[in-house]
Amino acid sequence: MRNLRFLKINSHSRFNEENCKIYLPEGLDDFPRKLRLLQWEHYPLANLPSSFKPNHLVELKMPKSKLERLWEGVQPLPCLKVIDLSNSRFLKELPDLSNAPRVDRIVVRGCGDLVTIPTPKKKLKSLEHLDLSGCSKITVFPEISWNIKRLLLADTGIEEIPPWIENFHLLVYLDMRRCKMLKNVAQIGHKLEKLEFLDLSGCSSVTSFPDISNNVVVLLLSETAIEEIPSRIKYMRRLELLEIKNCPRLEGLPISICELESLVELNISGCPNFTSFPEITEIMASLEYLSLNGTAITELHSSIENLTGLSSLDLENCKNLLSLPDELSKLKFLEDLNISGCSNLDKTIRNHGSLVSVRASGCKSQVVNCLGAGLSSLKTLDLSGCGITEFPEALTLISTLTELDLSQNCFSAIPPSIKDLQELQSLDLSHCQELQSLSGVPAGLTRLNVLNCISLEMVVLGNSSELQLYPLSNVETFVFADCPSLSHYAIENIQAFARRRIYVLASHLGVTLNFRGGDLSLNSWMKPQQLRYLLSSMYGYGSLHEALIGLHAAFFSNELISKEHPSRLLSRILHDFHERYGLSIQDMLHFFSLIAHLYLYYQGKPSTNFCFPSADIPEWFCHQRNGSFIAVMIQRPERSDEISTLAGFAISVLVAFDGYNDDKGISIKYECHFHSKSFGIREGEGYLRGWDGKKGTPSAIEGDHLFLGFDSSILFGAANGIEQFVGYSEDLVKATFQCYIVDEDGNTINSCTVKKCAIQPLYTSDMTRSQTKILSRQDITKGLTTRFA
């Protein structure tokens, strides 16, 4: 191997140093003399071979190694350009690189034992990038080439910046985060005219604003002891991001801040002594994001209207703020307003048609009365913990809402009119302990959280079995945990709704697979070979959106729809095909199947999840077993008149809660093993989703609860995608499931136990001609005809 030029030895990303499988108990004699690339992650020795002559070496990359030093003395390194020894925690020194004239990048990030960087006898004129981040024992600013462009010194022990830094005329990027011993930054100076990025955040001993070039674009000063921002900041006309978070001594900003014509983001959050935001005397068209989160401001000046480009305003936890100026409604680009925790705020803004998101958690209920009028674009609304005693009917007039959080309020009922919110996808009613009845939800709802509603007795979820065209929501979650007052009728209604949702989702997959396995010659608008070619050519795009555009372009090359909004793209495609080709109902069904195929290929596979109090598993689960493990032998339905393909498995797990009190959420993780005649054993895993954690708000759950759902991705994953799905599922003979109870971090929860689990195989024949008539081809035909004819 004397002519070897490239050597790469990498550990798998999931391995740590202890799992590295290469051991060299007798050391290493040498490396090939002509080696140009030496890349060895977790190199196990303290030194390179003493006989190694790196004359031809161009890149030396040995991260996470056990190296203490590379070699003794000065080596001739005429070709060397890159040295990467990052996270080599035993590294004590770097060699003299005087004979490495071409080295342009040195990375020793995370080398905690490294004490100093040697000063070479000859300046490394090619060095442009030096990363010493995390080298905590380095206390002296490195003496390096004046041609340096990127210098990363975060988490070092450097105490001062030397005056000769002004010679770094090419320096663009300087990162000195969390250099807690650093005090004086005045030496940075104006002469660094190329400097664009400066990060001093976490330098807790820095008390004054740095005297820096006016060409800086990003300036990060969070968690420093800075007391004021000087008026000369107005000369930094290129500044785009100014971050001064969590600076306890900062009291205000100069009025000259409004002269920063390029400023896009200004973040002053977490400054408890910041009492007054300055008057904006000039138009600031570039500013898009302003955060005053956690400051002590009492008002916003009416001149806020001069922030004409503002799209996001964060006022969370401004507890002294009493009102918002009417001029906010003049900001036509303002989309996101956060006033959560503004507990003394008496009113918010009206008639603001551009707002897309309003977060008002913990505000007074008077604020709620100001919402509704004129919020014609609102999609996300958080009114949690607002002390609402009656459901605000005005909310049902905001027809654009997709997410609504009403958790931790005091109303007793949800009116039937909530079903008028046809765009609503997520509704959070958790910890509404006065809530007694829920008499309907919008048909398109995919996330419903009714956790810890201890007074809830009546739930009516309605008939949500109608087919919805793709794209579907990837994950549906309906949680009714810790609702001990639920009536027997309510629990039966939830169970029936859950079964319908499982069959609806499985039906989409069943219909798609049923058509795919059918006779392609039925397509009168397209020859079978053309359809097969079209199917195969649609899988090379980057996303479903791109694939649909490509599908349209294949037939309507002169009609561009690339700017069509994603939510309207599918309707446009189906409309155009039907109008041009006069598709019959059968052709429309086949075309719908093709679209469904693309969705299943590109998007996450849909799943539905339920959690509610229950004493047992529903009887319609044919395979049930005590404990956390179950095995199922796959037996096809005894029908000979139709094709029946296994579409997946519904799964149900009965959990006993005993002393559970946690804020990290909960899910049921299940590990699967699929046994087939031709493909051996393949593994998979999935989750029955419970509720998400909410830090600081633990949920105390008692009694037995049922987790129930269907995840179409599990069998898809085992089959390695849609192309092999039918053949693989028909070859299965056995499936096993092992269930665990875990929190949102994947940790096992010991305060609850799996009492029982159950599996129900779902077949396409059950979907398409179910005796319960959950979904039939006539239903699909009716839906397609109504919507696209």
- Answer whether 310's CB lies under 8 Å from 333's CB: yes
**Beta strands 312-314 and 289-291, pairing class:** parallel
Instruction: Work out how many domains the chain is built from and give that number.
Output: 3
- Say yes or no: 728 and 622 in one domain: yes
Q: Which string of DSSP letters, residue by residue, matches 531-550? A: HHHHHHHTTSSSSHHHHHHH
**Considering only 135-149, 338-352, 628-642, which range has the smallest mean pLDDT?**
628-642
CA 420, CA 424: separation in Å to the nearest integer? Answer: 9
One domain for residues 570 and 642 = no
Lowest mean pLDDT, pick from 136-140, 265-269, 329-333, 547-551: 547-551
Residue where the block lists tokens 């409004």: 258
Smallest CA-to-CA distance from 110 within 130, 131, 86 is with 86
Confidence of residue 643 (pLDDT cuts 50, 70, 90): low
List pLDDT tens digits, range 709-734: 998 888 878 888 666 777 788 888 99
Do 586 and 655 lie in a common domain? no
Q: How far apart are CA 128 and CA 130, in angstroms?
A: 7
Residues 531 and 570 grouped into a single domain? yes
Q: Which of 105, 138, 158 is the last residue of a domain?
A: 158
Residue 558 belongs to a domain? yes
Residue with tokens 């660094």: 192
Residues 600 and 621 in one domain: no
Statement to judge: residues 539 and 625 lie in one domain = no
Q: What percent of the chain has pLDDT over 70?
A: 82
- Cα(399)–Cα(377) distance, integer angstroms: 9
Regarding beta strands 475-479 and 265-267, do their DSSP bridges make them parallel or antiparallel, or are they unpaired? unpaired
Would you give the DSSP letter of residue 210? -
Q: How far apart are CA 610 and CA 205, in angstroms?
A: 52
- Position with higher pLDDT, 228 vs 785: 228
- Are 526 and 573 in a shared domain? yes
pLDDT, average across residues 116-136:
88
Task: Write the pLDDT tens digit of every residue in 298-339.
Answer: 999 999 999 999 999 999 999 999 989 989 989 999 999 999
Q: Is the Cβ–Cβ distance between 203 and 181 less than 8 Å? A: no
Co-location of 544 and 661 in the same domain: no
Look over the chain and give the mean of its residue pLDDT values, rounded to a whole number.
84
The CATH number covering residue 84 comes to: 3.80.10.10
Q: Is residue 655 part of a domain?
A: yes
Position 106 in a domain: yes
649-694: per-residue pLDDT in tens?
A: 999 999 999 888 888 899 999 999 999 998 899 999 999 999 988 7
CA distance 523 to 762: 28
Q: How far, in Å, are 359, 360, 373, 415, 418 from residue 383 at the CA level?
A: 7, 5, 16, 17, 15
Residue 669: both structure tokens together: 């993780």
614 shares its domain with 760? yes
C-alpha distances (whole Å) from 720 to each of 671, 714, 723 are 17, 10, 8
3-state secondary structure of 155: coil
451 within some domain: no
Q: How far apart are CA 705 and CA 652, in angstroms?
A: 11
Instruction: Say yes or no to pLDDT of 184 above 90.
Output: no
Look at residue 617 and tell me whether its pLDDT is greater than 60.
yes
* Helix, strand or coil, per DSSP, at residue 461: coil
Q: How far apart are alpha carbons 278 and 338 in whole angstroms?
A: 20
Sequence-distant (6+) residues with CB within 8 A of 337 are 312, 313, 315, 328, 348, 349, 355, 357, 358, 359
Element (H, E) at 609: strand 607-613
pLDDT at position 530 over 80: no
Confidence label for 789 from pLDDT (cuts 50, 70 and 90): very low
User: Is residue 627 included in any domain, yes or no?
Assistant: yes
- Structural domain including 698 reads 607-768
pLDDT band at 491 (very low <50, low <70, confident <90, very high): very high
- Considering the domain architecture, whether residues 587 and 648 belong to the same structural domain is answered as no
Per-residue pLDDT for 206 more than 90?
A: yes
Residue 141 pLDDT exceeds 70: yes
| In the predicted structure, residue 249 carries a pLDDT above the cut 70 | yes
One domain for residues 24 and 69: yes
Per-residue pLDDT for 203 more than 80? yes
DSSP string, 307-346: -TT--EEE-TT-TT-----GGGGG-TT--EEE-TT-TT--
Q: Which residues is 736 bridged to in the sheet?
A: 631, 673
Q: What is the 3-state secondary structure (H, E, C) of 2-50?
A: CCCCEEEECCCCCCCHHHCCCCCCCCCCCCCCCCCEEEECCCCCCCCCC
Clarify whether residues 550 and 614 are in a common domain. Answer: no
Could you tell me the pTM of the whole model? Answer: 0.83
Asked if residue 504 belongs to a domain, the reply is no
Asked if pLDDT for residue 190 goes beyond 50, the answer is yes
611 within domain boundaries? yes
Instruction: Take residue 388 and report the two structure tokens written for it.
Output: 């609402």
